[in-house]
Amino acid sequence: MFKGSYVAIVTPFNDGDIDEKAFRKLIEFHIDSGTDGLVPCGCTGEAATLTIPEQKRLIKIAVEVCDKRIPVIAGTGSNSTREAIELTVHAKKAGCDGALIITPYYNKPTPGGQYKHYAEIAKNAEFPIMLYNVPSRTGISLSPSTVARLSKIENIVAIKEAAGSCQQVMDILSLSDIIVMSGDDSLTLPFMAMGSTGVVSVVANIVPEKVHNLTQSQFEGKYDEARRIHYETMDLCKAMFIETNPLPVKTALSMMGMVREEWRLPLCEMEKENKIKLRQMLERYKLI
């Protein structure tokens, strides 16, 4: 577990409600395409605009459809420790293999507060936890020393590192033996070269086989092949962030006929010029 290509799966909507049928189809698409693990209810899954009952429902569906064929690591984070505990305990009871928990956002806790937040969740959930460091979203960063301290808690076993820094990854791995997975598609290969075990990926929503093959090639020592896929998909990875994630990836999936082009406010349709660029990119990669 916590190895290879884990997809940060989108949440499809249909007239304002979760499109459960489309969500189930997406999961089967990933299993058929070699995706190594599923991460519902993360940032890419628009967790910030989902209600707690909706998050619980999506987690339950993911576990049901995956049926132990691939691991399910549910996004259960919140800036409220109490709410994060509720969601994480639910994920465990629902049969998830672990939980991805974002650093508390907006209230910007100190390193001491960060530690207490995660420690309290770990104590209440008692199953594998992956930390999630994404300062561009949360306004704060988990320092390598805080990560090392948290890694001493038995069930805090991994981190999704999305600070965009190779130095951050090196510092974490030099201070602890925690599992590191990339949170930036463009940095998957560099991070793996330093000891990361894979990626929690946005671009895998649309090219799951390529992301799986990149990580698998690196594991198998087929470095030229991993590097080839890295450069082949580089522009596509960049395109997924020409506007706020998940706008580009969900628009791409809509263009591919897999989900409706629908979000919840405050997210909205992409700017016309960027949408044209995205379509051209998908045509270039023969995805539409």
As to burial, measured by CB atoms within 10 angstroms (0-12 exposed, 13-18 middle, 19+ buried), residue 166 is middle
pTM of the model: 0.95
Task: Note the pLDDT of residue 126.
Answer: 87
Task: Please give the tally of structural domains in the chain.
Answer: 1
156 bridge partner residues: 129
Instruction: Tell me how many helices (H) and strands (E) the chain has.
Output: 12, 10
How confident is residue 98, by pLDDT bands cut at 50, 70 and 90?
Answer: very high
Instruction: Respond yes or no: is residue 231 known to be catalytic.
Output: no
pLDDT one-digit tens code per residue, 225-268: 999 999 999 999 999 999 999 999 999 999 999 999 999 999 99
Instruction: Give a yes or no: residue 247 inside a domain.
Output: no
What tens digit of pLDDT does each residue of 179-235 get? 999 999 999 999 999 999 999 999 999 999 999 999 999 999 999 999 999 999 999
Q: Could you say which of 56, 60, 92, 160 is catalytic?
A: 160
Distance CA 216, CA 222 (A): 8
Provide the percentage of residues in the chain whose pLDDT is more than 90. 99
Angle, alpha carbons 162-226-284 (nearest 5°): 85
Q: What is the residue-averaged pLDDT of the chain?
A: 97
Q: At 8, which CATH number?
A: 3.20.20.70
Q: Is 19 contained in some domain?
A: yes
Residue 223 counted as domain residue: no
| 60 is a domain residue | yes
**The predicted structure's pLDDT at residue 1:** 87
Predicted confidence (pLDDT) per residue in 11-26, tens digit:
999 999 999 999 999 9
What is the tens place of the pLDDT at every residue in 151-173? Answer: 999 999 999 999 999 999 999 99
Could you list the residue range(s) of the whole structural domain that residue 203 is in? 4-207
Asked whether residue 236 is domain-assigned, the answer is no
3 is catalytic: no
- Annotated active-site residue in 60, 132, 210, 250: 132
